[in-house]
Structure 1
Amino acid sequence: MKTTKYYIAAITAYTIWGFFSLVLKPIHEYPSLDILFNRVFSCSILMLLIVFIFKRSKVTEAITIFKKMEVKERRKTILINFGGSVFLIANWFSFIYVMNHVSVKATSLAYLVCPILTTLLAYFILHEKLSKTQWIAVGLSISGCLLLSYADLMDMFFSVFIGFTYACYLVSQRVNKAFDKFLTLTFHITLAALFLLPFYPAYSGPLPTEFKFYFCIETIAILFTIIPLFLNLYALSGIKASTVGMLLNINPMIAFALANFVYHEKIGMLQYASYGIILLAVLVFNSHHIFAFTQKYSPVSKNV
């Protein structure tokens, strides 16, 4: 059960993200780019402060490791980390835009499509092996997503794009193991901030004056960005990208419940059935670990 802590990290990250709409919806009247700019800049400043105060030794260690790498490995490391930042920016902007201007259901569908894309990318790029049971789970997930897309093809279009960007991030970071995880995440977010900085003067709106906006942004930065992304990278260091990807289904399950019970979006029986199938797929995909966990902690009966 050495992998249990990595499962817990992934489950915790995706449970947190499931409630993202609770802090994003209250600031839906602000442009998506303004939310993205403030989110990324806040994250970058906070994480750089933490690194310079508490993790300077890790910075020195990372520089030493990088210098010792062969030229080919160094280029690969640069590509993986620059690519990770690009995928994060694309994912965040598309997610915020769709959440605030299309529907909460479309964003929840994105993270139902993402596990399928992650599993397939991990299989073809990382050559991760899947059991027959896990392939059955992938088939169930595809069935559930097809049922949902039948109800709204436009939602599926947006969802595939959001899901693909994050799937690419997960798969790329599975092989990014050389450096401290917090330092890696700081690099990704700071690089994302530097990418966005030239666009800020031209594309940002008027400076927000409401306390609500800044409270939501800082909550998003700390609770819904730094913590879950760090847990995500930690989980990838111990379990396969396909497994981390499939657990991502927890996020849209919670988002779907919020869309129904909090935002009162119209939901039909087809969508209930689809989400039920996808929930079954998550259980089937991780059945080997669930059985191992229950066997370890179930009381052993003894003959008297």
Structure 2
Amino acid sequence: MESSNETASRGKYLFAAFLAPFIWGFMSIPVRWIRDYPAEDILYFRIITALLALWIYLLLFRRKTMAADIRKFQLLPQTGKLRQICLTLLASALIFGNWFTYIYAVNHISIQSAALAYLTCPLITAAGAYLILREKLTLWQKIALFIAFGSVCLLANGSLHDVLWAITIATCYAFYLIVQRVSTGFDKLNQLLIQLSICALFVIPKLSYNHHAIPAEPLFWGTIFLIASLFTIIPLFLSMYALIGISSTTTGVLLYINPLIAFTLAATYFNEPVSPVKYVAYGIILIAIALFNLTNIKQGFHRPSQS
């Protein structure tokens, strides 16, 4: 049986895994504020702004941690260095692809297609973690994933175009989570800094030859800073931090919080038409989340006394 300290420690990782998609669920609001700008411009300036903010924070407050990670990398054997470099490059490519496809879908496809992506993502994450990382699933968790799959099938009975976009968005982020689970031993903020720096290496040359004028409107830059800080650095760090203490499957399933919020916003705030079938499907998703986290819920109500 877990001690109260172990339960509390796991609780903070679960809370981080919950908070990240909860924040992301509201991201469609600021993205829609600047929907008249090209999706690639929003992505490029989001990356550059997030990178600058993260560099400033780390240089001011976490220089010792950065130095420690540099020494740790230097002490790795050649194969260890090559493995870490490959994982970092792969993670950077995956998160870049996820961001671009999400922004494009929100502004040019539909909010609901973006929501469907994060309904599909946990299933892809669970399958990948089970097959690649050999993460174990309880019977209840397998049942929950089967129920969630049925709900996704209900929601996918619409535009094939929307479904393909959703699968692309989901696959990028699902495998990003799996790569982050494998890539351990280094500070998560430092890893995020390197990933954003690699993304910037692609972005900066593109900006140099960009045919679009650099936006001058305060609304654009205010929104970009909000997206870069509140909707990029903070939730990415929370999701990476969560993977220290819980499986990528659990982190992936908690991503269902994101589309539930996005669906609610689409139906209320953005007034997108929603069929009754979708209300049923999202209700089923809530049941699946509860079933998947049944063990964690029980532990929350029956915490063992501290020894």
- TM tier relative to shorter chain: over 0.9
Structure 1 segment 200-211 matched on structure 2, within 5 A: 200-203=207-210, 205-211=212-218
User: Structure 1 vs Structure 2: percent identity of aligned residues?
Assistant: 37
SS in 2 for 1:263: coil
Contact conserved, 1:105 with 1:259, CA < 8 A, in 2? yes
After superposing the two structures, state which structure 1 stretch, 75-84 or 161-170, moved more: 75-84
RMSD: 1.1
1-structure distance, mates of 2:284, 2:181 = 27
Structure-to-structure mapping, 1:184-223, within 5 angstroms: 184-203=191-210, 205-223=212-230
For 2:131, the equivalent position in structure 1 comes to 124
SS at 2:245 equivalent: coil
Paired amino acid for 2:204: L
Aligned partner of 1:238 among 240, 245, 248: 245
Residue 204 of structure 1 deviates from its aligned partner by 5.2
Looking at structure 2, the residues matched to 108 and 181 of structure 1 have their Cα atoms a distance apart, in angstroms, of 26
51-60 vs 114-123, which moves further: 51-60
State the Cα deviation string for residues 14-33 of structure 1 (Å, max 9, x = none). 11110001111010000001
Tell me how far apart the structure 1 counterparts of residues 211 and 249 of structure 2 sit (CA, whole Å): 37
Which amino acid is 2:216 matched to? T
Give the match for residue 266 of structure 1: 273
Could you state the TM-score of these two structures normalised by the residue count of structure 1?
0.95
Write the distance in 1 (CA, Å) between the matches of 2:53 and 2:152.
Answer: 37
Please give the secondary structure, in 2, of the residue aligned with 1:150.
coil
Residue 279 (structure 1) aligned with residue 291 (structure 2) = no
Q: Distance in 1 between matches of 2:33 and 2:137?
A: 41
Unaligned runs of 5+ in 1: 298-304
2:302 and 2:58 mapped to 1: Cα distance? 41
1:79 is aligned, of 78, 86, 93, to: 86
Q: Within 1, Cα distance between the matches of 2:80 and 2:130?
A: 22
Match of 2:3 in 1: none
How many angstroms apart in 2 are the aligned matches of 1:10 and 1:204? Answer: 39
1:54 to 2:61 alignment: yes
Secondary structure at the aligned position of 1:151 is classed as: coil
1:29 equivalent among 29, 36, 61: 36
Verify the 8 A CA contact 1:13 1:232 in the aligned structure 2. Answer: yes
Distance 1:230 1:204, change over 3 A: farther
Task: Give the corresponding residue for 2:4.
Answer: none
Return the match for 1:224 from 216, 221, 231. Answer: 231
Q: CA deviation at 1:151?
A: 2.5
| Residue aligning to 2:178 | 171
Which sections of structure 2, spanning at least 5 residues, go unmatched?
1-6
> Does structure 2 conserve the Cα–Cα contact (< 8 Å) formed by 1:33 and 1:204?
no
Moved over 4 A (4+): none
Letter of the aligned partner of 1:34 in structure 2?
D
* Residues 200-225 of structure 1: per-residue CA shift (max 9 Å, x gap): 12235111121111110000000000
- The residue matched to 1:203 in structure 2 has which SS? coil
Q: Which amino acid aligns with 1:14?
A: P
